[in-house]
Structure 1
Amino acid sequence: MVRLKNRYVLCVVRGGDLALRALSPSAVHKTLSHTLQAQHGVYGQARCLIGMTVFYVNMKTGVVIVRVRKDSLSLLSSALPFVSNVGYPPNRVPCHLQTLHVGGSIRSCQKFLIEYHRKTLQSQLAACVTNEERQRVRAAITSTCFSIGPDKDVDADLDLGSD
């Protein structure tokens, strides 16, 4: 029996608050489908869409995880820089996708995401003016870093101590 191998592409949507509001798994899937067709034609689109699913979308922080088959990874990776907007035609919002990590498992993407947020947390908190803003930033990042195991504490992983 042959096992199908998947890759998980971790992306961040860059484009402001409007782009984050337009995020949904179906909107991201449709956007990727149109971009794949524009870049690789119908054959490339069909080949990539067979095993592609939008696995995770966080509307607060713009984190998107897309699962794709290993043999179609190059098609998706080459089409991602050409994403210029997200959403359905009446409500299209200009933005772009920045690829952060490509992993072989969800767990590797989770670990990378926790480490990424740990590195960027200090700069984001320094930009906050009030304590209320700091709490919103912490809540958004904590919601993104879902726990890896049943005994893991995300706040302890991020080391979100007091300011």
Structure 2
Amino acid sequence: MVRLKNRWLLFEVIFEDTFHVSSSSSSSPPSQKLEALSTRDVYSAIKNSVQINFGDYGVGCIAASISVKYFSPFTNIGVLRISRDHYHIVWGAMTFITQIKTRNCLIRVLHLGGTIKQCQLSAINYDRDQILLLRRQAELRGDTEIVDINELFEQSKNQIMAIE
């Protein structure tokens, strides 16, 4: 029996219109409600980018093995599985993505792993840092509806560990 070898990419989608609080800025967050992304939206954007940048050859190489296993619309991080031989095509195509669903963005690869376990651990650590940052930004804005941080950690950890 042949063992299929994969690479696991942990990535972050950074949007241009994301509100970031700095200590010297007193601007308010955008008033419009932004639509959250789904795993299907991210998958479509990556596949379209491969088609544009690598053509039919690139799509043919990755078609059987690419899969977005996890995407959190709250922290905008995701986990993608791709074959070991063609991960560089997907990584390259991800760097050329400038827009997902009419929102300007860029995708940053945070971790490349050979096993899902190491990618999950990196995702949990990064997710924890992002949740703490979001809570701190909410406190600086004066939001009174700050959710229980331990509950968010547990939900995030459970979702990430459920990836197969």
Q: Report TM bin, short chain.
A: 0.7 to 0.9
With normalisation by structure 2, the TM-score equals 0.74
Q: Distance in 2 between matches of 1:141 and 1:105?
A: 22
* CA-atom RMSD in angstroms: 2.9
Q: Which runs of 5+ in 2 are unaligned?
A: 20-31
Secondary structure of the equivalent of 1:128? helix
Report deviation, 1:7.
1.1
Among all aligned residue pairs of Structure 1 and Structure 2, give the percentage whose two residues are the same amino acid: 26
- Paired residues, what number? 146
Q: Which residue of 1 aligns with 2:39?
A: 25
Q: Equivalent of 2:155, from 140, 143, 156?
A: 143
User: In the TM superposition, what whole-angstrom CA distance separates every residue of 1:85-136 from its partner, at most 9, and x where no partner exists?
Assistant: 113xxxx222111111111222211211222244455544433324745426
- The answer as to 2:55 corresponding to 1:45 is no
Q: Which runs of 5+ in 1 are unaligned?
A: 151-163
Alpha-carbon distance change, 4 to 44 in structure 1, aligned in 2, over 3 angstroms: same
- Structure with bigger RCO (C-alpha 8 Å, 6+ apart): 2
**Higher mean displacement: 139-148 or 68-77:** 139-148
Alpha-carbon distance change, 56 to 76 in structure 1, aligned in 2, over 3 angstroms: same
Q: Distance in 2 between matches of 1:9 and 1:21?
A: 24
Secondary structure of the equivalent of 2:158? coil
Q: Distance in 2 between matches of 1:68 and 1:51?
A: 5
Q: Equivalent of 2:96, from 74, 82, 91?
A: 82
Secondary structure of the equivalent of 1:100? strand
Bigger helix share: 1
Report deviation, 1:79.
1.2
Runs (4+) of structure 1 exceeding 6 A deviation are 17-20, 147-150
Q: Which residue of 2 aligns with 1:161?
A: none
With normalisation by structure 1, the TM-score equals 0.74
